[in-house]
Amino acid sequence: MTNNSGTAALQPEQEMLNWGRLILDGVPYADLVSARDRDPSVTWFDHWMETAANYERLGEQAQAAGHTITAGEYFVLGSLAAQYAQFLWFDDRRRVGQERKVELYRRAAPLLNPQAERFELTVDGATVPGYVRVPASGSGPYPTAVLLGGLESTKEESYQFEQQLLARGIATVTFDGPGQGEMFPEVPLRGDYERYTSAVVDYAEKLPEIDASRIGVVGRSLGGHYALRSAALDQRFVACISWGGFADMDSYDDETPMTKESWKYVTASSTHEEARERVMRLMDVRSELHKLRVPTYIQHGMHDEVPVSEVDVVKQLAVDAPLTIVIEPHGDHCCHNLGPRPRFEMIDWLEEQLKPRA
């Protein structure tokens, strides 16, 4: 396959696959090797969907034998396999993979330790689905992190990140917003994502297990943009992490072809030009950054396709927010190539911010 310039075009998995991301999110190394070395006659999608089915069978066997924690872990692995089966595609495979991912995570949720409690809210007539997980040890109410997904990530794939937070006594809340996961069929990408984040906080702060005075927001990639917007416009957040995020999309033309396909898909645009106009108009928090006042952690890789100049934009405009800025000289997008250290550093920072104040 060639592109318009006559040079060889990359297959989607060659262009977008980030082994660091998948491994850190919990995909076993053996599964990645198996996908890489699969029979050429088997498509990427079919290979990963079969992997998901294999994990489902293992989960069912473990559950039947009374090993419920093992069963939950297998169902999570199946959900992740379905996620990465579909995340590169923009046709019916996307829907099929999404539905399978949701199904397998729903089977995992009550078996996890601690379990994940599903909730569904309504905003403007549309359903906002999510999960709450509360630490298994200690006594509540607990500090809480609201986790925001990115351009093609959803609530089900943050499991490993949640585990680290829960181990530190921090509850987690995840959800699908506009353009994401279960919500996308009803509501494509919007600029006012903070309305959905705030609706989730409205729900969470009423739970007896949640300490409403200690809620932080963490967003990865596009979610990092949403985190800045949410923390700037909802004063209930006491800390913010923008992980590989951005303030605006002035660099849209420098995005990779696959990323532009993703933008076109999540905006439900009919053309790339229409997607470009919507993204550049809707994904812009510059006019709101002066309202950001809480401690904010910015993590960015020098080799990220999102230009590091986005960090300078936040520095220039978020003049009332105490900023902690970490720029990794060898980091790629969200520093997935650097192993767990950048994630641990963010989580430890958040733990410090959410400690009870004397």
Where b means 16+ CB within 10 Å and e means fewer, 279-318 reads: bbeebbbeebbebbbbbbbbbbbeebebeeebbebbeebb
Catalytic annotation present for 242: no
Q: Which of 79, 198, 221, 242 is catalytic?
A: 221
Catalytic residue, candidates 152, 157, 182, 261: 152
3-class secondary-structure state, position 239: strand
Using an 8 Å Cβ cutoff, are 133 and 144 in contact? no
What's the whole-model pTM score? 0.94
Task: In whole angstroms, give the CA distance from residue 246 to residue 315.
Answer: 11
CA atoms within 13 A on the CB side of 171: 26
Q: Which of 47, 225, 300, 333 is catalytic?
A: 333
pLDDT in tens, the chain (358 residues): 223 333 344 455 654 568 899 999 999 999 999 998 999 999 999 999 999 999 999 999 999 999 999 999 999 999 999 999 998 889 999 999 999 999 999 999 999 999 999 999 999 999 999 999 999 988 889 999 999 999 988 999 999 999 999 999 999 999 999 999 999 999 999 999 999 999 999 999 999 999 999 999 999 999 999 999 999 999 999 999 999 999 999 999 999 888 999 999 999 999 999 999 999 999 999 999 999 999 999 999 999 999 999 999 999 999 999 999 999 999 999 999 999 999 999 999 999 999 987 5
Active site residue 309: no
Catalytic residue check, 304: yes
Identify whether 333 is a catalytic site residue.
yes
Q: Which member of 304, 328, 332, 351 is catalytic?
A: 304
